[in-house]
Amino acid sequence: MVRPVIYTNPYSFSPFATGYDTPGFYFPEYSEPVQSPQSENPAKTLGLAALLQGIALFLNKASKWCSYKLQQGKEFTSAENVNKVASEMVKKNNLDVKVGFVDAANKADFVRNYGGAAEFEAVAKGENAFFSSASKLAVAPKSRPSLILHELGHAVNATKGKFMRFLQNSRGYATAAPTVLLLLSSLLPKKQGENQNFIQKNAGILGFAAYLPTIIEEGIASLRGIKAAKNVLGKTANLAPLKRNYLFALCTYILAGIGLGVAAKETIIRES
Ligand SMILES: [Zn+2]
């Protein structure tokens, strides 16, 4: 799950959530000197920049709301049933992955075995769940066991070939999109008679596109979890709360993608 980050200010790339797959992966601080915008129409540019800042703030709020709804979400079945589904997912897909449910009482054991005190602290508090292919571990809060099915969905994705692995790993690079687009844009000529090149024109959609693989992979992970629950528990299970929770989780990723598009646009505007 690992909550995505929305960049309200592209000058301060904060660490990309906590470490799904790449524990402790930090993006370099983006610290270009602030330059006064040298556009043909400074007033218009400033207006657009302010608008984008406003949108970023709104996205951030919306994302927090989705996270809150996810945290408040109900469990769709008993912990015992979730365990049954999780075991079946591991068995059926031959996963070499340990499954853990973390609470205040056992978090120290996890930290001792795997490191990452902050990560397990968040899981123990019910604020996060994650799968780490490096540690071959999927964990969810003991208070929210159903999140494990989504994490095992990631674990299954990791076994499904190169394309899936690409989707999964792209998140490590996606957040560099504003910087990369800025660099590419400086290399790209403008067409005659136009004052914007292709990247300057499409920075928003290109920034979002960089995050799309992550959104898709998140969605697939959830679908795998839901499908496994349906297969193992059959018609008696009410999957609606599970689907609802996973939808709120996906919502945070979609908002983060839009946020990345906004950040890319803002960076391009400021620098050109
Ligand atoms: Zn996830």
Does the pTM exceed 0.85? no
Q: Is the CB of residue 2 less than 8 Å from the CB of residue 67?
A: no
Q: Is the CB of residue 263 less than 8 Å from the CB of residue 207?
A: yes
Distance 205 CA to ligand 1 centre (A): 23
Q: What is the pLDDT of residues 160-169, one digit of tens each?
A: 999 999 999 9
Distance 194 CA to ligand 1 centre (A): 42
Distance 54 CA to ligand 1 centre (A): 27
Distance 253 CA to ligand 1 centre (A): 9
The pLDDT value recorded for residue 151 is 98
Rounded Cα–Cα distance for residues 64 and 50 (Å): 21
Rounded Cα–Cα distance for residues 108 and 50 (Å): 45
Regarding whether 197 and 120 lie in a shared domain, the answer is no
Residue 265 lies in a domain: yes
Residue 32 lies in a domain: no
The pLDDT value recorded for residue 5 is 67
Distance 130 CA to ligand 1 centre (A): 7
Mean pLDDT of 45-52: 87
Rounded Cα–Cα distance for residues 97 and 131 (Å): 9
How high does pLDDT run on average in the chain? 86
Regarding whether 174 and 86 lie in a shared domain, the answer is no
The pLDDT value recorded for residue 7 is 58
Regarding whether 171 and 265 lie in a shared domain, the answer is yes
Percentage of the residues of the chain whose pLDDT score is greater than 90: 74
Regarding whether 240 and 218 lie in a shared domain, the answer is yes
Q: Is the CB of residue 73 less than 8 Å from the CB of residue 245?
A: yes
Query: CA separation (Å) from 5 to 81, 92, 103?
Result: 32, 33, 24
At 45, is the pLDDT very low, low, confident or very high (cuts 50, 70, 90)? confident
Regarding whether 188 and 136 lie in a shared domain, the answer is no
Regarding whether 89 and 65 lie in a shared domain, the answer is no
Regarding whether 100 and 132 lie in a shared domain, the answer is yes
Distance 63 CA to ligand 1 centre (A): 15
Please tell me the least confidently modeled range out of 25-39, 71-85, 118-132, 143-157. Answer: 25-39
Tell me how many domains the chain contains: 2
Distance 55 CA to ligand 1 centre (A): 25
Which one has a higher pLDDT value, 95 or 33?
Answer: 95
Distance 51 CA to ligand 1 centre (A): 30
At 12, is the pLDDT very low, low, confident or very high (cuts 50, 70, 90)? very low
Distance 200 CA to ligand 1 centre (A): 31
Regarding whether 176 and 259 lie in a shared domain, the answer is yes
Regarding whether 209 and 95 lie in a shared domain, the answer is no
Distance 214 CA to ligand 1 centre (A): 9
The pLDDT value recorded for residue 46 is 77
Residue 151 lies in a domain: no
Q: Is the CB of residue 261 less than 8 Å from the CB of residue 62?
A: no
Mean pLDDT of 45-67: 92
Q: Is the CB of residue 182 less than 8 Å from the CB of residue 268?
A: yes
Distance 211 CA to ligand 1 centre (A): 13
For the record, the structure tokens of 120 come out as 């397990």
Which one has a higher pLDDT value, 29 or 10?
Answer: 10
Distance 154 CA to ligand 1 centre (A): 7
Mean pLDDT of 152-177: 94
Residue 15 in this model has a pLDDT that exceeds 80: no
Regarding whether 91 and 202 lie in a shared domain, the answer is no
Distance 99 CA to ligand 1 centre (A): 15
The pLDDT value recorded for residue 1 is 64
Distance 1 CA to ligand 1 centre (A): 3
Rounded Cα–Cα distance for residues 84 and 79 (Å): 9
Mean pLDDT of 235-240: 91
Residue 222: alpha-carbon gap to chain centroid: 13
Residue 11: alpha-carbon gap to chain centroid: 20
Residue 265 in this model has a pLDDT that exceeds 80: yes
Q: Tally Cβ neighbours within 10 Å of residue 11.
A: 14
User: Residue 176 is part of which domain span?
Assistant: 42-74+158-271
